[in-house]
Amino acid sequence: MKKLLSDPTNQRTASFLLLTLLLILLFSVLNPRFMTVNNMTTILRNMTPVGFAALGLTFVIVVRKFDLSFEGSISFGAMFVAFLIMSGFNPWVAVPLGMLGGLVVGMMNGIAISYLRLPDIVTTIAVGAVVGGASYWFSNGKDIFRNFFSSGILTLNNGKLFGVSYATIFLIFAYVIAFVFLHKTRWGRSFYATGEYPVAAKYSGINVRLYVAVAFVISGVLMVCASTVLISAGGKGEVGAGEGYMLATYAAVLLGAAIFSRPGILPTSAGVLLIAIVSNGLTLAGVDNLSHNAVIAGILIFGVIAFDSKIRGSLSNRIRNGLGLRRPATNSKIQEAS
Amino acid sequence: MSADISMENRGYWFKGLLERYGLLAVLVALIVFFGSNEPTFFAPINITSILRAASVTFIMVCGLTWIVATGKIDVSFYTMAALANVVSATLVQLGWDWVTAYLVVLVIGAVVGIVNGYLINYLGLSDLVVTICSASFLGSLALMLADGSSFGIERPGWLSEFMHTTFGEAFVSGDGAGATAIGAVPLVLLVAAIVLFVSWYLQERLTFGHYIYAQEGNYEAVHEAGVNVRRLNLLLFVYSALMSATAGVLIAAEFKTGQPTMGASYFVDGLTAVFLGSLVLRVGQANVLGTMVGILILIVVSKGAAALGWLSNEGIGEMIKGGILLLGTGLAVFAQSRQRDASQEV
Amino acid sequence: MNDTVLRISGLSKSFGSVRALDNVDFELRRGEVHALLGMNGAGKSTLTKILSGIYTPDAGEIKIDGKKTSITNPSSAMRAGIAAVQQHPELVPAMTCYENVLLGQESAKPGLFRRVDRSKMLATARATAERYEMALDLESRVSDLSPVEKELLSILHALIRDNTKVLLLDEPTSILTEAERDMLFALMRTLCDQGISIIYITHHLEEVFEITDRFTVFRNGQRVATMDTLEAKAEGVNLAELMLGRPLKGLYPAKAAIPEIDRKPVIKLEKLSADQMFSDVTLEARRGEVLGIFGLVGSGIHELGDAIYGIRKHDGQGRIWFKSKETNIRSAGEALKKGIFLLPGDRRTQGLVMERSSVFNTTLANLKRSSNRLGLDRVAANRRDADAILTKLDLNPHDIDISASSFSGGNQQKVVMAKALYSDSELYIFVEPTVGVDVGARSKIYSEIRKLADEKAVVLISSDCDEVFGLSDRAVSFYKRQQVGDPEAKITRDQLLHRGLMGEANQ
């Protein structure tokens, strides 16, 4: 057991599990309804849209960029797919077409940022505004819900398999594929190399610019998946569909990355789970919706500070110095000697 | 060698003039365009409205301008304004006077700014992540305080009057005064003008601004020269929070309401103005004068487009703004890459 | 001017197990130009970093003007009268010269809210520039300056405080032309006339005889010799020998076993040029031998490597043939596919992904080999392969899972070697393979390079002359972006060094 715990990855997984356990205990005490099967499925259902969004954002974070366009692209995706369904398209056609639209949005981001060298934050804000504005095109801003019932899109959310909605099954599916892709294939390794040491990646023959652009494309496509789940759950396409997703999505990805020391599919799923549990627990504990964001923001910033390696390093150095212990020699000075 | 350089300098100077003030020409061109196509554009009411919106928006993002100038970002400015808006509205509704309410708001703003500034500049955390957190936090607080919806202020008091007074109404008695162009200028523009002037002075004539732009060029050089850059950057975050808060209070007075969600519309506009404005005066670097020009351009475009009936639905406005932001950013990057020393690239 | 302005006794400094300075005594006279010579790692830059306050010594004493002085940080160095000009000075490109020179000192008292009095700044800068007879247009922007002007500007910045006694110049001329160098030397003479002493680090030996009064040679952290320049010139002292000492026996493996006839050309360059980087390069690398390219930083050798590898563009006027086919390589990916691998010179930013394991790094340049047709990683096979290679290279500690950053420099370089071996290429270009690497790891790396050369073509690009000469079958020097001499001709070690340091081809 001790040997198992000495591996840092296992330590982090252990701390995550411990944290989750504590949260579950806390919320169960605050409201016994928390630990029911019904509530568990509610948690799963509510976290599915964020789950997709966070999955997309993960790729962007892995290549060390930021994407602030997804509130706009989720709205656009929602209206686009809803429009296609209203126009009579079968959901099996409408959704892939919508994802194609997401791909185009992702390409806009990717080309501007990776090839035209525009700054990621501002560019994605701009693209988000453009695309969010475009979401008004489809119905002049009005909600779309015609044909929803007859097209069968609602079964995505309402239909269940083993008590879990189809949407969530798709989500799990997507996470599994993404996990294999990012953590078990050569392309995944290239993504990480691109984000961590782009120059070394370039010298290793990796087309860094392409990988950055593709990260944004993947994000764009997955955002539309989130849109689809949203309109299925809500029964309509509305222009403000993406509102409020910024914090939850970043919190999930970054909290996960902080706990596990680097971004990835497993860290993101941990983050999504944590945020979903907290959100649900807060609601059941009587905390109103408005304060949720404040709590989540607090958790994120606390998590980032607590797990930041630099801060931990300097803190542990100060403790060591205070206790009179010697600091281990760093390798960098040896390099500098020549 | 000296003779050659001065010849180059002259050519550089003229091209620089074009580059530096080209955006102003764009503004003038836009005004002419909209004005000629729709005469009501020049109506006093419209002018008042434009200038008032410009003043308030400028106050909101003048601090953000300098943060962007150092290469960082603060996405919490609009929720800071929202919180200030709601807090001041609540206090005034409870019977407090504007000045005291404003002081409370300033204290809140200072705390927010210090927290942001410290986490980013002393602990080295990402500016985006920290300000996303503060943005959510402040937005949440604003909603909680306002119980989720807007509310009116029954006795809006002198500040509200001030926000709705123009020069014409204030200084000239009798009718017909509001008809002249000067008369249509709102008093609050004076406030913005003072802020603009003081900011410009800080930016151009004092070491304050000097170090802001120096560190954007080379942080290490300024640090090695013995300047306390971290403290400067922290002050910038405090200043940004204070100014956004001020704007929030003015907006509360103007609309006589507390609106927890008022900030949202200023988000893209504010950033666009700052980035677009970086094309004026200090080609590629955000600055206060440019921000003002950027704001005016945005407001002229939206009011003009509305007057011409272009904005048939809400979405088009957002698209235009997003497009302008993209364009402005692209041009700024292009301008900066030309100024950057080519041999520094590896 | 004969009195001593700076006296150092018993100075020592170690970094971990590496002894950078070993009980060094040094003396600097007032108003003299004193050069510090020695190959990389010999100790001269450690000495200057201690003097400028970047490092603190482990032992020893520094006396300035007879007074014992302790230098703990850059500020105290400046206060003591020591002004250092780094090799790559930090300047703000968009600002003018006078603004850069007076950065932090815009007005009498420091602070954030002081008036920036530009005319006063300009006057102060002009006054100092005139005092030292520097011809600079102080109103021009730094981004418009030529390299020598930037050098002059950074010297001016160092001199702006009036109390400078010692000026440290770290390799200021590596990218200067002849004329520009003369400007710098004129400035240096003016400074000396005014009583300032200059410590001058350089690799360009001809400059030593031209500008210095005395010089000191360092080798392996020790001061080997201090001589008066004129005397040394008269006695015909061989600087190269002083710097290199006698070559270490046993460090370099035996030369090529394959006869010349059997060595097939793998890559051929003809008149290859890249604007401002290198020009007119003609050489050929063959299977079964090591081709060495020696040159200092700035001589163009590193840029040449990048150009062959597709990372840098060349002019298109020259041609490259790879395996008898004319090619144009536009990216590292293309190069790798063709069978060319380059080991970059800076392993910390270019060679390795530092926070990842050795397995990750080893397999990074040949992703195809490390994954199956579906793209899935061959985890077990990769571990086996990496383990095998790293065992052969003697990785210490032998742990293929810990991150690259936890290894010493020498072992990190072994991981980079492993990456090269795993890539299974035809042409291997090694750039600075033993920078910051201890002797034990060096000999391992050298024997691996030699073994590699038996079956493949190897090009060795390095600023370590000993290394190039010891390891290569054929070698050529580069001086100031030009190839010197014919790579086919036989060459001695001293010739190689002198050509790289001085450039004449008729040595």
d(CA A256, CA B295): 39
Percent of chain A with pLDDT over 90: 51
In degrees rounded to 5, what are phi and psi of residue B73?
-140, 155
CB pairs under 8 A between A and C: 106
Residue pLDDT, tens place only, C473-496: 889 999 888 888 888 888 888 788
Angle between the A186-196 and A37-62 helix axes, to the nearest 10 degrees?
A: 70
Q: Is B213 within 8 Å of chain C by CB?
A: yes
Give B84→chain C minimum CA distance, Å. 28
DSSP letters spanning B208-256? HHHHHHHHHH-HHHHHHTT--HHHHHHHHHHHHHHHHHHHHHHHHHHHT
- C27 and C103 assigned to the same domain: yes
Average pLDDT for consecutive 10-residue bins of chain B (346 residues)? 45 62 84 82 84 94 95 94 95 91 96 96 91 93 89 84 79 54 80 94 92 89 84 96 96 91 89 89 85 92 82 81 89 75 37
- Identify whether the C-beta of residue B46 lies closer than 8 Å to the C-beta of residue B223: no
Residue C441 CA to residue C413 CA, distance in Å, equals 8
Query: Do C210 and C184 contact (CB within 8 A), yes or no?
Result: no
Residue A329 reports pLDDT greater than 80: no
Domain boundary among C424, C443, C477: C424
The bridge status of strand C197-201 relative to strand C4-15 is unpaired
Q: What is the pLDDT of residue C107?
A: 79
Q: Give yes or no for a contact between A72 and A219, defined as CB atoms under 8 angstroms apart.
A: no
How far is it, in rounded angstroms, from Cα C363 to Cα C244? 37
CB contact under 8 A, A293 and B139: yes
Rounded to whole angstroms, how far apart are CA atoms B87 and B108?
10
Q: Quick check: C18 contacting A, CB < 8 Å?
A: yes
How far does B336 lie from chain C, in Å, by closest CA? Answer: 10
CB C405 within 8 A of CB C351: no
pLDDT for A276: 92
- Same domain for C237 and C386? no
- If asked whether residues C279 and C184 sit together in one domain, one would say no
CA distance A156 to A162: 14
**Partner-chain contact B268 A305, CB within 8 Å:** no
Using CB atoms, pick whichever of B75, B123, B132 lies closest to residue A305: B123
Alpha helix segments (H runs only) across chain B? 2-37, 44-69, 77-93, 98-121, 127-145, 157-163, 167-171, 188-205, 207-217, 219-224, 229-255, 264-277, 288-307, 314-339
How many separate domains does chain C show?
3
Q: Tell me how far apart the alpha carbons of residues B303 and B41 are, in angstroms, rounded to a whole number.
A: 8
pTM for the full predicted model: 0.86
Closest by CA to A53, choosing from A327, A296, A251, is A251
CB proximity B218 to C under 8 Å: yes
In a domain, C253, yes or no: no
Q: Quote the tokens at residue B232.
A: 């400067």
The reported pLDDT for the residue numbered C62 is 92
Q: Which fold has domain B26-31+41-337?
A: ABC transporter involved in vitamin B12 uptake, BtuC (1.10.3470)
A105, A69 contact by CB (below 8 A): yes
Same-domain pairing of C23 and C127: yes
List of chain A residues whose C-beta atoms are within 8 Å of the C-beta of residue C436:
334-335, 337-338
Percent helix, percent strand, percent coil in chain C, to nearest 5: 35, 25, 40
Type of residue at C139: E
Do both C366 and C239 map to the same domain? no
Range from A96-105, C220-229, C243-252 that averages highest in pLDDT:
A96-105
Contact B315 A137 (CB under 8 A): yes
Contact status of C410 with chain A (Cβ, < 8 Å): no
d(CA A136, CA A238): 9
Q: Are residues C150 and C28 in the same domain?
A: yes
Q: How far is CA A332 from CA A66, B319, C398, in A?
A: 30, 50, 21
Pair C25, C60: CB distance under 8 Å: no
Is there a single domain that holds both residue C417 and residue C373?
Answer: yes
Q: Which residue, among C26, C68, C31, has the nearest Cα to C46 in the 3D structure?
A: C26
With a CB cutoff of 8 Å and minimum separation 6, the contacts of A240 are A75
What pLDDT shows up at residue A203? Answer: 92
Nearest CA in chain C to A209: C331
Q: What is the pLDDT of residue B12?
A: 53
Q: What is the mean pLDDT of residues A145-172?
A: 83
Model pLDDT, residue C1: 43
Chain B residues inside the 8 Å CB shell of C116: 205-207, 210
| Beta carbons of B325 and B268 less than 8 angstroms apart | yes
Tell me, what's the pLDDT at A330?
37
Q: What six digits make up the tokens of C371?
A: 């994954």
Residue at C123 is within a domain: yes
**Contact present, C420 and C431 (Cβ < 8 Å):** no
Q: Which fold has domain A7-308?
A: ABC transporter involved in vitamin B12 uptake, BtuC (1.10.3470)
Q: Give the closest-approach CA distance of B159 to chain C in angstroms.
A: 32
- The three-state secondary structure class of C434 is coil
Burial class of residue B200, CB neighbours in 10 A (0-12, 13-18, 19+): middle
Residues 6+ apart with CB under 8 A from B334: none
Q: Which of C347, C303, C304, C305 is nearest to C435 (CA)?
A: C347
Question: Residue A60 and residue A123: Cα distance in Å, rounded?
Answer: 14
Confidence class for position C175, pLDDT limits 50, 70, 90: low
A173 C-beta neighbours (distance < 10 Å), count: 10
Q: Does pLDDT of C407 surpass 90? A: no
Domain ranges (residues) in chain B? 26-31+41-337
Cross-chain Cβ contact B129/A308 below 8 Å = no
What are residue C59's phi and psi, to 5 degrees?
-155, 160
C16/A205 Cβ within 8 A: no
- Tell me which chains share at least 3 CB pairs under 8 Å with chain B: A, C
- pLDDT (tens digit, 9 = 90+) per residue, C66-95? 888 888 877 788 888 898 887 777 889 888
Reading the block at residue B258, the tokens are 């507390």
The alpha-helical segments, DSSP class H, found in C132-256 are 147-159, 178-193, 205-211, 229-235, 239-244
What's the confidence (pLDDT) of residue C507? 44
Residues C292, C18: Cα–Cα separation, whole Å: 27
Q: How far apart are the first and last CA of chain B?
A: 28
Distances (CA, A) of C48 to B110, C14, C162: 45, 15, 21
Per-residue pLDDT tens for A228-260?
Answer: 999 998 888 888 888 889 999 999 999 999 888
Amino acid at B78: Y
Per-residue pLDDT at C249? 59
Give the C-alpha separation, C209 to A39, whole Å: 85
Terminal CA-CA length for chain A: 44
Average the pLDDT over C104-131 and give the result: 85
C335 & C359 share domain:
no
Q: Where are any strands of DSSP class E within C296-406?
A: 319-322, 325-327, 340-343
The domain spans of chain A are 7-308
Return the minimum-mean-pLDDT range out of A136-150, B164-178, B264-278, C184-198: B164-178
Residue A9 pLDDT class (50, 70, 90 cuts): confident
**A134 to chain B, minimum CA–CA distance in Å?**
6
Establish whether the linkage from the previous residue to C344 is cis, with ω within 30° of 0. Answer: no
Integer angstrom CA distances of residue A152 from A157, A158, A173, C34:
10, 10, 21, 86
Chain A residue at shortest CA distance from C42: A338
**Beta partners for residue C268, in sequence order:** C284, C321
In a domain, C24, yes or no: yes
Number of neighbours of residue C164 by Cβ within 10 angstroms: 18
Residues 325-344 of B with CB under 8 A from C: 339-341, 343-344
Cross-chain residue pair C349–A190, CB shorter than 8 Å: no
CA distance C47 to C37: 12
* Residues of the domain holding C495: 264-339+427-432+457-507
C467 min Cα distance to partner chain A (Å): 15
Beta bridge partners of C269: C283, C320
Distance from C354 to chain A by nearest Cα, in Å?
A: 8
Tell whether B173 is within 8 A of chain C (Cβ).
Answer: no
Residue A110 has pLDDT above 70, yes or no: yes
How high is the mean pLDDT of chain C? 85
Asked if C44 and C74 sit in the same domain, the reply is yes
Q: Are A204 and A194 in contact (CB under 8 A)?
A: no
Of C350, C356, C405, the CB nearest to A199: C350
Mark whether C357 and C324 lie in a shared domain. no
Q: Does A123 touch chain B (CB under 8 A)?
A: yes
Residues C359 and C240 in one domain: no
pLDDT digits (tens, 9 = 90+) for C208-229: 888 999 999 988 888 888 999 9
Residues 63-92, chain B, touching A (beta carbon < 8 A): 73, 75
A38 touches chain C (CB under 8 A): no
Q: Specify the higher pLDDT residue, A126 or B156.
A: A126
- The C-alpha of C229 sits at a distance from chain B's nearest C-alpha, in angstroms, of 34
Average pLDDT over chain A, rounded to an integer: 86
Q: Which of C189, C88, C64 is nearest to C132 (CA)?
A: C189
Give the nearest partner residue to A337 out of C15, C336, C407, using CB atoms. Answer: C15
In chain B, whose CA is at the least distance from the CA of A243? B264
* CATH number of the domain where residue C284 is located: 3.40.50.300
Contact B329 A123 (CB under 8 A): yes
Cα dist. A320→A315, A325, C140 in Å?
9, 5, 50
C99 in any annotated domain:
yes
Q: For residue B21, what pLDDT is reported?
A: 78
- pLDDT single digits (tens) C356-404: 999 999 999 899 888 888 889 888 999 999 999 999 888 878 888 888 8
A334/C360 CB distance under 8 A = no
Please give the torsion angle defined by the CA atoms of residues C486, C488, C494 and C500, in that order, rounded to the nearest 10 degrees: 40
- Do C334 and C350 fall into the same domain? no
Cβ separation B341–C142 shorter than 8 A: yes
Pairing type for strands B151-152 and C59-64 reads unpaired
Nearest to A186 among C41, C331, C371 (CB): C371
Predicted pLDDT of residue B198: 94
Nearest CB neighbour to A297, from listed B73, B137, B326: B137
